[in-house]
Amino acid sequence: MTTYPYFVQPTSFDPLSPSVDLSVSFAQKYLQQMKSSDSAPVVNDNFVERRRAQIAAKKMLESLRSVSAKSWTKTEDLLSQVLVQHGIDTDLIDPWQISGGIHQVYKLAIEAYAQQLPPHSIVTKISPVLGQVRKQVTAIDPRVIGFVAMQYHYTGVQLMELLPDGEQEKFANYVKILDDHLYMPLQRAYSAAGKHPADSVALQSVRLLMPVMTKISERIVDRVNQLYPSYRCHSGLLNTPNIRTSSIRDVEMFQVYMWVCLLEGNLHALETELFPLCVMIYPKLNVNWGLLSKMTHLLRKEIGAYLSPEQAKYCEPFYEILRRMFSAEVFPNTD
């Protein structure tokens, strides 16, 4: 069994540390995003609407165990052969432990939905739970997080399908927050930030990039959709709403991994987690390496537009390596 001890070193909590500032920035980004997308008041006093949400939540809670089991089967069907091909010991993946985490965080999400609380209200509750899930899983083998995150995602999608059409989009916002905290090494970024002085180039760069992460991702996804208008991945065309949302999350995930590289001053996160994850999962989802190469090229260009010359000079080598790792140099004969 391969272990990666640098993933699990405990860190002390200093309320004045840069890591806290970074996590607050991320929470603020969520708050701003949700406020801009929510046209309704935070608290809905309409009895009928509240009652409808409570009934739907009861149905989701009652179905959570069976949905989680179906998600495990669906994830295994998709990735079991890939795990073997990559030499990952499937006995290291504990379905009961994963199901316990799924039940805990989705119960919180469902209860928030039933009370019609805004999606960002669950961040402080689920972030430490999912941070611990990531820590436990990546300590075994960083690549296993792809399997675990996919099961969480499929659970959310199936729960969403239990709702009426008009309610699915509302619950999708809660699912996205859970996805973000599993797919993205946010706690690792916060921990790395805590080791920097406030004026470090790496930390200042990440602070600049964090508020525009979603804007950058949306621009890149829309540009890729223009370049590949008829491209069809495992779940359908790139420009369908659900796939666009997943694509934006993936570009955000790439950005967070690069923040970790910048803050840690090395490429461990890219080499041991992000790249192997992509090699393991994207072919099963019919994601073309040429498309991914274009995305990393666009990401490199977008990032540079937001940074000062000093920051751009510091960050450029990291993003250039990212681009080259997903280029035709590594994946020849791709469109």
pLDDT at 2: 37
Place of tokens 């611990």: 132
Residue 43 has pLDDT above 60, yes or no: no
Tens of pLDDT, residue by residue over 201-259, are 999 999 999 999 999 999 999 999 999 888 888 777 888 888 888 899 999 999 999 99
Q: Are 109 and 175 in contact (CB under 8 A)?
A: yes
14 DSSP assignment: -
Closest to 295 in 3D by CA, of 254, 242, 246: 254
Tens of pLDDT, residue by residue over 89-117, are 777 778 778 888 899 999 999 999 998 89
pLDDT at 3: 36
pLDDT at 131: 83
Q: Are 25 and 211 in contact (CB under 8 A)?
A: yes
Strand, coil or helix: what is 232?
strand
d(CA 78, CA 3): 25
Residue 213 CB partners (closer than 8 Å, separation 6+): 29, 252, 255, 256
d(CA 72, CA 66): 10
Residue 154 has pLDDT above 80, yes or no: yes
Tens of pLDDT, residue by residue over 60-88, are 999 999 999 999 898 888 888 888 888 88
- Element holding 268 (H helix, E strand): helix 268-269
d(CA 222, CA 331): 24
Q: In the beta sheet, which residues pair with residue 233?
A: 236
The residue extents of the domains of the chain are: 18-183, 187-335
Place of tokens 């009370």: 115
Radius of gyration, alpha carbons of the chain = 20
Q: Match domain 187-335 to its CATH number in 3.30.930.10, 3.90.480.20, 1.20.1250.20, 1.10.490.20.
A: 1.10.490.20
Q: Are 151 and 103 in contact (CB under 8 A)?
A: no
Closest to 80 in 3D by CA, of 246, 288, 318, 284: 284
d(CA 99, CA 162): 19
**9 or 295, which is more confident:** 295
Q: Are 158 and 67 in contact (CB under 8 A)?
A: yes
Q: In the beta sheet, which residues pair with residue 232?
A: 237
d(CA 323, CA 295): 9
d(CA 152, CA 106): 9
d(CA 44, CA 117): 9
Q: In the beta sheet, which residues pair with residue 186?
A: none
Q: Are 281 and 13 in contact (CB under 8 A)?
A: no
pLDDT at 237: 85
CA distances from 253 to 107, 120, 149, 269 (A): 24, 18, 12, 12
Band the pLDDT of 33: cuts 50, 70, 90: low
